[in-house]
């Protein structure tokens, strides 16, 4: 924890030798020591701020250095359009990614990006384990993972009076999490996304 300039000044004064020449306070020596104490306090505060910068989630001054070290975004996102908080989350997720191709790893990766997801696995239908009313699933469904994403879809509909001729009747923007999860999925699986699920 950084000390204040007054605390540092008192510490410097206490280290002066005893004697009648240095016993009087308020002179030129105190002014020099006060200037030195101010510089030391600034250095200590700067060091404390730099300690916070070692974590990408709290980095401001060093955020661009984290992004430079991590290289270009593998999903091709334009970092200029992102807020500082979004850039911090993305840098933290990429900085701490250790790899893995399991469902818990996918859920953890999404959580680092600020999205709570669930993942469903499917199994092919078997004659002995089926009950009436259950869906039949083919053999290939065992390689499908469904990621349930709560919200994160922007649907913009055409409105008379607001939109004009030539505008789309509607747009559907998917979330940025799709690229991230498709990138880390196991090679033999197919990931589908279910938006609006809890």
| Pairing status of strand 190-195 against strand 144-149 | parallel
Number of helices (H) and strands (E) in the chain: give both, helices first: 6, 5
Question: What number is the average pLDDT over the span 167-190?
Answer: 78
Question: What number is the average pLDDT over the span 52-68?
Answer: 90
Q: What is the pLDDT of residues 76-123, one digit of tens each?
A: 877 888 888 988 988 998 888 887 888 999 998 888 888 889 998 887
CA gap 95, 113 in Å, rounded: 12
- Looking at the chain, the whole-number percentage of residues with pLDDT higher than 70 is 83
Closest CA to 73 of 179, 191, 190: 179
Is 26 a residue whose pLDDT tops 80? no
Q: What confidence category does residue 154 fall into, taking pLDDT thresholds of 50, 70 and 90?
A: low
Residue 172's pLDDT is 59
Is 45 a residue whose pLDDT tops 90? yes
Is 174 a residue whose pLDDT tops 70? no
Is 35 a residue whose pLDDT tops 90? yes
Residue 171's pLDDT is 62
Is 197 a residue whose pLDDT tops 60? no
Residue 155's pLDDT is 60
List beta partners, residue 118. 148
Residue with tokens 């030391």: 40
CA gap 177, 119 in Å, rounded: 14
Instruction: Give Cβ neighbours of residue 170 (< 8 Å, ≥ 6 apart).
Output: 155, 156, 157, 158
- Tokens of residue 145, six digits: 């993972």
Q: What confidence category does residue 38 fall into, taking pLDDT thresholds of 50, 70 and 90?
A: very high
Is 150 a residue whose pLDDT tops 60? yes
């Amino acid at each position: 924890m950084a000390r204040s300039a007054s605390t540092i000044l008192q510490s410097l004064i206490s280290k002066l030798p005893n004697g009648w020449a240095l016993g009087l306070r308020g002179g030129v020596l105190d002014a020099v020591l006060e200037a030195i104490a101010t510089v030391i306090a600034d250095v200590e505060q700067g060091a404390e701020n730099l300690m916070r910068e070692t974590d990408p989630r709290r980095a401001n001054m060093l955020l661009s250095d984290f992004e430079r070290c991590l290289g270009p975004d593998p999903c091709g996102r334009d970092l200029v359009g992102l807020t500082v908080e979004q850039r911090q989350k993305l840098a933290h997720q990429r900085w701490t990614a250790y790899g893995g191709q399991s469902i818990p790893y996918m859920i953890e990766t999404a959580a680092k990006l600020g999205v709570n997801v669930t993942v469903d696995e499917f199994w092919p239908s078997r004659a002995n384990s089926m009950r009436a009313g259950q869906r039949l699933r083919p053999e290939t469904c065992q390689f499908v993972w469904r990621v349930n994403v709560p919200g994160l879809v922007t649907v913009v509909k055409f409105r008379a009076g607001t939109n004009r001729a030539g505008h789309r009747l509607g747009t559907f923007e998917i979330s940025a999490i799709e690229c991230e999860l498709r990138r880390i999925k196991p090679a033999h699986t197919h990931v589908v996304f279910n938006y609006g699920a809890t």
